[in-house]
């Protein structure tokens, strides 16, 4: 069975789905691996490196013809058009927010497996958890960006020219990315506070060195699968108002809050921004075309408010550390592939809880329970 890696086509995407290091494991399992020429260039993995590890270096059309095609992000329309029935596509396909792509893959008869739909709380899913591996990188990079943008020191510094107090950093949202941001800011010497709407994250935030902030005006909002639920309108307003006081007391705010399939919650309002001191920095990891965690943030852009607050719309952070991000993603994909291979072929048991979570389209239909309504005829 042939597995291939295609070069990513999304603007700014520098990652690649496999790195040479994982090829020996795949080949030992009986897989042949092809890599599109230049696929690893932007993450510093050369064609020669892949060839030395036993891969064939092939054209794009050859790569798109393999039994299993691997990507990091969504394939472009031309790549989808080149796929044929029965092929398997594995990547982070964002099916909840791209129904057109899902429909196109179903119509093409492709079996689409989306790693961002993985049931992450299953212990055997952990080595395949690409959302976590990439969120770890994003949280680390967000803290570095915050430190680089901030006009003062993160650590306490005592020098002949005077003493610098440590920066006060607030991390909003303490999932995988938030915890890594806390740890990184702490290692840089900042004093870190953190808040999340899921109270069970308190112990985790404290274990990496943050002081956990509890809000008195809203209760817990844990949802399903370890995620947060969307807040009601009243809860949202209460949260924004109470958070504003905490935000104003911090020099740096890193926001990471997400609710699956929804627009990121707005945590830092216009009013909260106005109450911040000039020179404060916010890194909004929730920044998206739908809006982010911070009023006025724009993905991929840095804006400065009239009162001197720098807001970094930090989109696509894993791609800014493409070598580490690709290596971790490659291990996630490899773990998934190895778990699916039986006698040199893919065994896709749709009754398996893990597979049912990730298979989005199959045999010409949209099969994922979270999406299959889009297949129903309109009334
Ligand atoms: P995420 O990216 O979906 O969200 C980031 C954080 O934002 C979450 O902690 C969430 O609670 C928080 N958030 C959402 N709305 C908020 C609001 N209005 N105000 C404040 N915070 C808000 O989360 P994630 O990092 O992908 O992790 C989600 C969960 O999955 C975590 O509990 C994580 O530990 C869990 N997880 C479990 C496993 C496992 O069991 N093996 C593996 C990976 C992740």
Question: How would DSSP label each residue in 104-144?
Answer: HHHHTT-EEEEGGG--TTSGGGGGG-HHHHHHHHHHHHHHH
Is the CB of residue 179 below 6 angstroms from any atom belonging to ligand 1?
no
Q: Is 331 within 8 Å of 22 (Cβ atoms)?
A: yes
Ligand 1 pocket, mutate which of 257, 291, 314 (most atoms under 8 A from CB) = 257
State how far the Cα of 14 lies from the Cα of 12, in Å rounded to an integer: 6
Instruction: Name which residue sits closest to atom 10 of ligand 1, judged by CA.
Output: 228
Query: Tens place of pLDDT for every residue, the chain, 379 residues?
Result: 999 999 999 999 999 999 999 999 999 999 999 999 999 999 999 999 999 999 999 999 999 999 999 999 999 999 999 999 999 999 999 999 899 999 999 999 999 999 999 999 899 999 999 999 999 999 999 999 999 999 999 999 999 999 999 999 999 999 999 999 999 999 999 999 999 999 999 999 999 999 999 999 998 998 887 889 999 999 999 999 999 999 999 999 999 998 877 889 999 999 999 999 999 999 999 998 888 999 999 999 999 999 999 999 998 999 999 999 999 999 999 999 999 998 888 999 888 999 999 999 999 999 999 986 654 444 3
Tell me which of 27, 103, 227, 229 is the catalytic residue. Answer: 227
Q: Is 120 within 8 Å of 142 (Cβ atoms)?
A: no
Known active-site residue 339: no
Determine the distance separating the centroid of ligand 1 and the alpha carbon of 175, expressed in angstroms: 4
Sign, CA torsion 115/95/173/234: negative
Tell me which of 14, 15, 60, 120 is the catalytic residue. Answer: 120
Known active-site residue 129: yes
Is the CB of residue 265 below 6 angstroms from any atom belonging to ligand 1?
yes
Known active-site residue 271: no
* Both structure tokens of 50: 């892949």
Known active-site residue 227: yes
Known active-site residue 280: no
Tell me which of 43, 87, 114, 132 is the catalytic residue. Answer: 132
Using CA atoms, how far residue 104 sits from 35, 78, 268, 379, in Å, is 24, 11, 37, 22
Ligand 1 pocket, mutate which of 92, 228, 236 (most atoms under 8 A from CB) = 228
Is the CB of residue 235 below 6 angstroms from any atom belonging to ligand 1?
no
Instruction: Name which residue sits closest to atom 3 of ligand 1, judged by CA.
Output: 258
What pLDDT, on the 0 to 100 scale, is given for residue 284?
A: 98
Which 8-state DSSP code applies to residue 250? -
What pLDDT, on the 0 to 100 scale, is given for residue 79?
A: 98
Place of tokens 């399939």: 261
Instruction: Look at phi and psi of residue 330 and say left if phi exceeds 0, alpha if psi is from -120 to 50, else beta.
Output: alpha
Determine the distance separating the centroid of ligand 1 and the alpha carbon of 227, expressed in angstroms: 5
Instruction: Name which residue sits closest to atom 4 of ligand 1, judged by CA.
Output: 258
pTM: 0.94
What pLDDT, on the 0 to 100 scale, is given for residue 374?
A: 52
State how far the Cα of 50 lies from the Cα of 47, in Å rounded to an integer: 5
Residue 331 pairs in a beta bridge with none
Instruction: Name which residue sits closest to atom 40 of ligand 1, judged by CA.
Output: 121
Residue 308, SS3?
A: coil
Determine the distance separating the centroid of ligand 1 and the alpha carbon of 174, expressed in angstroms: 7
Cα Rg of the chain, angstroms: 22
Place of tokens 């430190």: 147
């Amino acid at each position: 069975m042939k597995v291939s890696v295609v070069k990513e086509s999304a603007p700014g995407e520098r990652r690649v789905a496999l790195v040479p290091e994982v090829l020996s494991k795949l080949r030992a399992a009986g897989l042949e691996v092809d890599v599109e020429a230049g696929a690893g260039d932007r993450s510093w993995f050369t064609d020669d490196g892949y060839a030395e590890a036993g891969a064939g270096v092939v054209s794009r059309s050859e790569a798109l013809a393999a039994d299993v095609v691997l990507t990091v992000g969504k394939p472009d329309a031309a790549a989808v058009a080149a796929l044929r029935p029965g092929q398997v596509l594995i990547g982070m396909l964002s099916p909840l927010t791209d129904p057109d792509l899902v429909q196109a893959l179903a119509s093409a008869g492709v079996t689409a497996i989306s790693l961002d739909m993985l049931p992450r709380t299953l212990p055997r899913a952990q080595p395949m958890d690409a959302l976590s591996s990439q969120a770890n990188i994003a949280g680390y990079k967000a803290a570095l960006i915050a430190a680089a943008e901030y006009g003062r020191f993160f650590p306490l510094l005592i020098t002949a020219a005077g003493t610098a107090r440590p920066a006060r950093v607030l991390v909003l949202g303490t999932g995988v990315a938030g915890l890594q941001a806390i740890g990184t800011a702490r290692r840089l010497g900042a004093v870190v506070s953190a808040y999340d709407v899921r109270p069970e994250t308190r112990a985790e935030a404290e274990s990496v060195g943050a002081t956990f902030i509890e809000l008195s005006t809203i209760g817990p909002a844990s949802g399903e699968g370890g995620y947060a639920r969307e807040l009601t309108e009243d809860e949202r307003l209460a949260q924004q108002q109470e958070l504003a006081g905490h935000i104003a007391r911090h020099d740096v705010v890193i926001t990471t809050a997400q609710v699956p399939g929804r627009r990121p919650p707005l945590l830092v309002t216009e009013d909260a921004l106005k109450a911040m001191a000039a020179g404060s920095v916010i890194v909004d990891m929730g920044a998206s075309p739908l809006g982010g965690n911070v009023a006025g943030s724009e993905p991929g852009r840095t804006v400065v408010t009239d009162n001197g607050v720098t807001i970094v719309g930090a989109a696509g952070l894993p791609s800014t550390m493409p070598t580490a991000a690709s290596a971790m993603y490659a291990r996630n994909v490899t773990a998934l592939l190895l778990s699916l291979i039986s006698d040199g072929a893919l065994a896709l048991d749709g009754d398996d809880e893990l597979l049912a979570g990730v298979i989005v389209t199959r045999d010409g239909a949209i099969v994922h329970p979270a999406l299959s309504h889009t297949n129903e005829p309109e009334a």
